[in-house]
């Protein structure tokens, strides 16, 4: 759905509606618990209608905020900025990302591939999330490949399904690239289970640290 509002405006509207909804729900609860709740029926019904209306408004805002995932192999002008961004998140030299992402440009149908999400979905919006698909995320099981890597969502944009969108997108991208399986390594326990991924056991990373390995559904 096209929208004339910026992502910031939509986020703020969503926050405000959320807080009104919270108060309305508390009101309904408080009125319903009163001894004379029967006589307050019309007030309760009105509050419930408002809750429903604001719920619809929130759903429409979420729809308008639909997420665009940029494939960097198709957008080489974004590589420098993206490499800096990934490097700042994972403390890995910017050159390493630059090299891997540049390598994807002439091979848009093979691994590696890199993806970002921008604020407001606009080309000029700052990067707020991203991930990559690489052959091996520096662990001792190169047979379990390719790997989803570097998944990161900026703190203020967490909790609105961006990681889920990126993880699902990576799954369908792996298929597009002719790779039926996709794996990742992580310290998280319980996160990837939510996306339907299966814990396959532990592997050792290049620092000799034991990490958990997951397989895409
Ligand atoms: C982990 C991270 C990517 C989650 O991003 P996000 O956009 O907030 O996640 P989503 O909104 O898509 O959440 C999807 C689901 O995971 C859950 N979830 C989010 N963060 C979680 C965490 N740290 N642990 C367990 N579950 C988590 C959410 O509750 C949600 O569950 P639901 O759909 O059943 O309600 C983000 O917190 C981040 O970038 N962290 C720092 C980097 C990192 O740890 N990356 C992963 C590397 S393996």
CATH number, domain at 192?
3.40.630.30
Q: Domain check: are 40 and 105 in the same one?
A: no
pLDDT given for residue 52 in this prediction = 87
Q: What residues pair up with 211 in beta bridges, in sequence order?
A: 203
Mean pLDDT of 121-125: 82
Q: What pTM does this model have?
A: 0.77
Task: Clarify whether residues 35 and 126 are in a common domain.
Answer: no
Same domain as 38, residue 86? no
Residues 84 and 184 grouped into a single domain: yes
Mean pLDDT across 97-110: 93
Helix (H, G, I), strand (E, B) or coil at 24: helix
- CB of 22 closer than 6 A to ligand 1? no
Which pLDDT tens digit goes with each residue over 132-174? 999 999 999 999 999 999 999 999 999 988 999 899 889 989 9
Say yes or no: CB of residue 197 within 6 Å of ligand 1.
no
Ligand 1: which of 89, 153, 187 to mutate, most ligand atoms within 8 Å of CB?
A: 153
122 pLDDT tier (thresholds 50, 70, 90): confident
Residue closest via CA to ligand 1's atom 13 equals 161
Looking at every residue in the chain, the average pLDDT score rounds to 92
| Domain enclosing residue 162, as ranges | 69-215
> Is the distance from the beta carbon of residue 151 to the nearest atom of ligand 1 less than 6 Å?
yes
Helix ranges (H only) for the chain are 7-33, 41-64, 79-90, 94-105, 162-176
**60/77 same-domain check:** no
Pocket test for ligand 1, best of 191, 196, 214, 216 (most atoms within 8 A of CB): 191
- Same domain flag for 15 and 38: yes
Q: Among the atoms of ligand 1, which is closest to the Cα of residue 165?
A: 12
Residues 196 and 132 in one domain: yes
Q: How far is the CA of 31 from the centre of ligand 1 (A)?
A: 36
Distance 135 CA to ligand 1 centre (A): 23
Is residue 13 in some structural domain? yes
Report pLDDT digits (tens) over 39-82.
999 999 999 999 889 878 877 886 777 788 899 999 999 999 99
pLDDT at 2 over 60: no
Same domain, 60 and 118: no
- In this structure, is residue 2 part of a structural domain? no
- Total domains in the fold of the chain: 2
Average pLDDT on 79-94 reads: 97
pLDDT digits (tens, 9 = 90+) for 3-31: 688 878 887 897 898 789 889 988 998 99
Contacts of 172 (CB under 8 A, 6+ apart): none
Looking at the structure, do residues 57 and 79 belong to the same domain, yes or no?
Answer: no
Q: Looking at the chain, how many residues does it have? A: 217
């Amino acid at each position: 759905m096209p929208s004339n509002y910026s992502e910031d405006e939509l986020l703020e509207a969503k926050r405000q509606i959320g807080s009104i909804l919270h108060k309305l729900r508390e009101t309904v609860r408080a009125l319903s618990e009163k001894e004379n709740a029967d006589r307050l029926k019309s007030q309760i019904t009105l509050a419930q209608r408002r809750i429903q209306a604001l719920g619809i408004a929130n759903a429409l805002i979420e729809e308008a905020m639909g997420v665009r995932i940029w494939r960097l192999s198709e957008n080489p002008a974004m590589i420098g900025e993206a490499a800096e961004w990934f490097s700042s998140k994972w403390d890995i030299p910017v050159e390493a990302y630059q090299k891997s992402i540049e390598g994807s440009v002439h091979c848009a149908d093979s691994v590696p591939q890199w993806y970002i999400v921008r604020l407001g979905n606009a080309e000029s919006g700052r990067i707020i999330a991203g991930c990559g698909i690489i052959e091996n995320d520096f662990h001792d099981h190169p047979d379990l490949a390719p790997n989803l890597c570097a998944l990161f969502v900026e703190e203020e944009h967490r909790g609105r399904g961006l990681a889920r969108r990126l993880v699902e997108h990576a799954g369908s991208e792996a298929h597009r690239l002719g790779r039926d399986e996709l794996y990742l390594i992580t310290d998280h326990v319980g996160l990837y289970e939510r996306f339907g991924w299966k814990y396959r056991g532990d592997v050792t990373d290049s620092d000799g640290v034991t990490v958990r390995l997951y397989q895409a559904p």
